[in-house]
Amino acid sequence: MMHIIASLSQRLAWLIGRPLFAFFLHFQVCGKENLKGLKNGIIFAANHVSEGDGLLISGSFNLFSRILPLYFIAREEKFYKEGLSGSFFYTETVLHCFGVYSAVFGVKDYEKSLASHIKLLKEGKNVAIFPEGHRSKDGGLSEAKGGVVALAKAANVPIVPVAVSGILHITLKEFLLRKRFVTIRFGKPIYPEELFEGYENPVPQDYKKIATEKVMGGVGEILK
């Protein structure tokens, strides 16, 4: 039932948001040809520059795209409640309705932390993740966490780098005056075997370095 609700809610958000993005943000999507031939069960790994990044990424697909709904990886519920004064909209149930599932923190085990998302990928669902784990303050890229690599390895699925640009520190005035040009760019998929090229017998301690070099490196290439 939650999968149906997530699908409906993201498509409803598309109907409302996509026309607004197109008019006020000159919204463009590039690189979707890189998704041709990929079966569902894809990790979309993006840089993180605004609270609206998730809407922009899901809004970059067509209304009836097989890619939707996208399932996003989020921090634990209390993180959002503290940031937004316990907002109703950031309860776990409401987040699930929009395809947002929290990772489990503090277990020091990628597969336990991301168990829900690994299960989704194995079921043929598509997962979006912000590997840096936080929003950028200046638009630059920073080190990635190792979770994105652990996901790809555990579910044996490809990672598609996604670059979000043009939205950093946008103001309401800039939005209404159509001052910004926002673009979502999709890179070429990175398959699990490519992630570990150059690493003999990789262990979880290597995942952070691999994610930074190969995943965020891929995002950086398409940001140029």
- Lowest-confidence segment of 74-78, 111-115, 117-121, 145-149 by average pLDDT: 74-78
What distance in Å separates the CA atoms of residue 56 and residue 182, rounded to the nearest whole number? 9
pLDDT in tens, 183-196: 999 999 999 999 99
Q: What percent of the chain has pLDDT over 90?
A: 75
Q: What is the structure's pLDDT at 118?
A: 96
Map out the domains of the chain as residue ranges.
2-223
On average, the pLDDT of the chain sits at 91
Closest by CA position to 143, among listed 83, 78, 208: 208
User: Taking residues 33-47, what's their average pLDDT?
Assistant: 97
Choose between 68 and 198: higher pLDDT: 68
Model confidence at 88, in pLDDT bands (50, 70, 90)? low
- The Cα 43–Cα 71 span in angstroms is 9
Domain 2-223 sits in CATH at 3.40.1130
Determine how β-strand 70-74 pairs with β-strand 28-30.
unpaired
Query: At a CB cut-off of 8 Å and minimum separation 6, what does 217 contact?
Result: none
The predicted structure's pLDDT at residue 101: 87
- What pTM, to 2 d.p., does this model score? 0.92
